[in-house]
Structure 1
Amino acid sequence: VYFLTIDNAKFRKPVVPGDQLKIHVKKIKKRGNLLKFACEAMVDGAKAAEAEISAMMVTSD
Structure 2
Amino acid sequence: MVVPGDTLIFKCELLAPIKRGIAKMKGYAFVGDTLVSEAELSASIVRKDS
TM above 0.5, one fold? yes
Report which structure shows greater RCO (CA 8 Å, sep ≥6).
Answer: 1
Task: Give the total of aligned pairs.
Answer: 48
Counterpart in the other structure of 2:8: 21
Please tell me the residue identity of whatever aligns with 2:12: V
Q: Whole-Å Cα distance in 2 between the matches of residues 59 and 47 of structure 1?
A: 33
Q: Percent identity?
A: 33
Greater share of strand residues, 1 or 2? 1
Q: How big is the shift at 1:60?
A: 5.4
**Does residue 32 of the first structure (1) align with residue 20 of the second (2)?**
yes
Q: What is the TM-score normalised by the length of structure 2?
A: 0.76
Gaps of 5+ in 2: none
**Which structure 1 residue ranges, 4+ long, deviate > 2 Å from structure 2?**
58-61
